[in-house]
Structures are given as C-alpha cells and as structure tokens.
Amino acid sequence: MARHDHGAPPSDTALRVKALESLLIEKGLVDPAALDALIDTYENKVGPRNGAAVVARAWSDPAYKARLMDDATAAIAELGFTGRQGEHMVAVENTPRVHNVVVCTLCSCYPWTVLGLPPVWYKASPYRARVVKEPREVLAEFGVTLPEEVEMRVWDSTAEIRYLVLPQRPAGSDGLDEAELAELVTRNSMIGTGLALIPGAARAKTEAAE
Amino acid sequence: MNGAHDMGGMPGDGPVEIEQNAPLFHAAWERRAMALTVAMGAHGLWNVDMSRYARENRDPLGYLEDSYYERWLYGLEVLLEENGLVTREEIAARETELSREDV
C-alpha cells in the first residue's frame, strides 16, 4: 500500500493550506497572531523536557511519585503542565519485571502537556499496527532489547486517557540532582520505546533513535 | 466505526521508520495546518471525537495515502463545510486566486 506518513508533500497542499488560512482570517475565525503563538508554543515551549522534569521529580521525591501514580493529571499540574491533550493522564511505571509501551492504534493520541507533539513514527502505520502484536520486535528496531522474563504491557491511548511511562532510574545516578536526572530522561523513554540514559553515556548516540 | 485508521494488529507493515533528529514539522504548511486546526477547535463548535470522525470517515485509500497533517486538513475542511463556515468552492476559488498571484 502506498503510504507516505512523512516526506515531501505535494506542493498543492501548501496552496490549499494558504487558501484556507486566508479565508479563515478574512472571516474573522482565526487571528494570525494567535496562530503564530500556537506554533511557538508547540515548537519551543511544550515538549519532552516537561515530561523529563516530572520523571526526575518522581525519581527524587517518593511522596511526589506516590501522587503521580495515584493521580497523574494532578501531579503533573503541580509542575505547571496543564492543557489540551493532557486532561486525563495516567502514569505507568517500568520496573525490573514490567516494561510499559504506549501507542495510539486508532490515531495519534499522545500526552501533549508532557511530551509535546508526537513524532512521525508514532503516527505512522508500522508502529500503530505492530507494537500491540509484537512489541519486542518493535522495541528491537529502537535498539531496546529486554530480558524474556520482563512482562510487556502495551497501553492503547484514547481520545481521553493519555499515558506517561515512568522509566526506571538508571544505575549510577545516585547523588544526581533533579536537573541532572532530567538530562537522562529521553522522549522515547517516556513512551516506552527507549530507556533512560546511563550517566556519562554518549548522549548523541542514544538520541539517534529519537 | 471500523476503517483504515483502525490499525492495531493489522498485518503488512514493515519496520518502524525512525528518522534521525526528526524536526517537529516537515514543511512550513504543516505548522499552519496544525495551528489552524487547534485554533478552530478552540471555538468549541466540535469536540475531539467529532474531529476524529471527520478525519476518518472517508475512503480507506484516501486516508492511507494522506500524510498525517493532510488528514488533519481533510478533517478541518469537512468540519468547516458541515458548520457552514467555509465551502470547498470557496477554498478552490481562493487557491486559484493565490496561484495567480504567485505567478
């Protein structure tokens, strides 16, 4: 099947969007400054650094972690992260026995408030179709191989519920403060297609899969 | 509703295509399509379920061939037309005007 979930779009799409924007502005339905502000928000302000701060706090503060696991929406809001596509958050914790992975098989539901907008692969058919059926094979494509005895749990997001994976705190991270811990938390580690970085590991290498 | 979007467990896909250092948007128009969709959603004329239905209630091949933000654009146009805000004829006419300006 011809699928092009990313790549160069046909040039008439750009024209179609331009035409639509110009009509909506003319009709007073959108404000160009508000559009620029929305783009700035999602390109520069909301993103996986928010989620990393949540994870680092949970690693550092057992009381916070308990609140996160009990009511993730409220615990995330404590750090100031609220808004659309994050109204009903659930945190799922990775342990030596259980590894959680998040998908949206039907579309692209994703926790915008903590991770920003989803990457292309998350929205494309191979991930959506396969991770529910063969999570270990899919994880291997991200460079993650887990022992056979680790139970895989795949969470299918809905329009309402959005999941945040709490990755395992890596070995060798004792004594790091929250800001240093947050540096170890990659976007993929909060989706479940990656693991938190080991302190001192080459960051560039691990980020390659992002 | 069962449709092309219901992808969980479907056979036939190859490996996940993981792009290195992927940008958030892959073309300038994708930014505008995202912002237009979110800004129009804020009027409260439709909810997230209606937005998804508008994107997904279509011929399967069209859904599969569209890129992600093209699906958003398709859905937005459906909702605008259904709500009597912008017609397809208006969009086509404006496209023609704009393409003349560009020449």
Asked whether A155 and A102 are in contact (CB, 8 A), the reply is yes
Query: Could you say which residues from 67 to 86 on chain A have a Cβ atom under 8 Å away from some Cβ of chain B?
Result: 84
How far is residue A129's CA from residue B60's CA, in Å, rounded to a whole number?
Answer: 15
Distance from CA of B81 to the nearest CA of A (A): 12
Contacts of B83 (CB under 8 A, 6+ apart): B45, B46
Q: What tens digit of pLDDT does each residue of A44-61 get?
A: 888 999 999 999 999 999
Copy the structure tokens of residue A54.
Answer: 């949540």
Euclidean distance between CA atoms B91 and B81, whole angstroms: 10
Cα distance between residue A85 and residue B5, in whole Å: 19
Q: Does residue A58 contact residue A89 with C-beta atoms inside 8 Å?
A: no
Separation of alpha carbons A107 and B88, rounded Å: 25
Chain B, residues 35-74, CB within 8 A of chain A, namely 35-36, 38-40, 43, 48-49, 52, 55-56, 64-65, 67-68, 70, 73
Phi and psi at residue A35, to the nearest 5°:
-65, -45
What value does the mean pLDDT take over residues A27-51?
Answer: 94
Which tokens sit at A63? Answer: 């009381």
Query: What is the per-residue pLDDT for B91?
Result: 95
Residues of B in contact with A31 (CB under 8 A): 39
Tell me how far CA of residue A68 lies from CA of A38, A52, A61, A209, in angstroms: 28, 13, 11, 27
A–B interface: beta-carbon pairs under 8 A: 177
* Joined tokens for residue A198: 């080991």
Determine, for residues B19 and A121 on separate chains, whether the beta-carbon distance falls below 8 Å.
yes
DSSP 8-state assignment for residue A88: E
Residue A194 C-alpha from the chain's centroid = 11
**Worst-scoring range by mean pLDDT, A4-18, A129-143, A180-194, B16-30?**
A4-18
Report yes or no: A140 and A67 within 8 Å, Cβ to Cβ: no
Interface of A with B in 95-154 (CB under 8 A): 103, 105-108, 116-117, 119-121, 123-130, 132-133, 138, 141-142
CA distance A107 to B55: 10
Is residue A2 over pLDDT 70? no
Question: Looking at the predicted structure, is the pLDDT value of residue A202 above 90?
Answer: no
CA within 13 Å, CB half, A148: 0
Q: Per-residue pLDDT for A180 more than 50?
A: yes
pLDDT of B100 reads 86
Residues of B whose CB is below 8 A from A40: none
Question: Residue A132 is encoded by which pair of tokens?
Answer: 């529910």
* Alpha carbon separation from B28 to A10, B20, B31, B34 (Å, rounded): 13, 19, 6, 10
Q: Please answer yes or no on whether B26 and A159 come within 8 Å at the CB atom.
A: no
Tokens of A108: 């692209």
Tens-level pLDDT at each residue, chain B (103 residues): 568 888 888 888 899 999 988 899 999 999 999 999 999 999 999 998 899 999 999 998 999 899 999 999 999 999 999 999 999 999 999 999 998 876 5
Determine which of A67-76, A121-130, B4-13, B87-96 has the lowest per-residue pLDDT on average.
B4-13
Candidate from B8, B16, B43 with C-beta closest to A132: B8
CA A17 vs. chain centroid, Å, equals 27
Q: Mean pLDDT over residues A98-113, rounded?
A: 94
CB of A96 closer than 8 Å to CB of A150: yes
How far is Cα B30 from Cα B24, in angstroms, rounded to an integer?
A: 9
pTM check: above 0.90:
no
Residue-level pLDDT at A140: 97
Q: Which of B10, B70, B92 has its CB closest to that of A129?
A: B10
B6 touches chain A (CB under 8 A): yes
| Cross-chain CB nearest to A106 (options B6, B34, B67) | B6
Is the distance from CB of A169 to CB of A56 less than 8 angstroms?
A: no
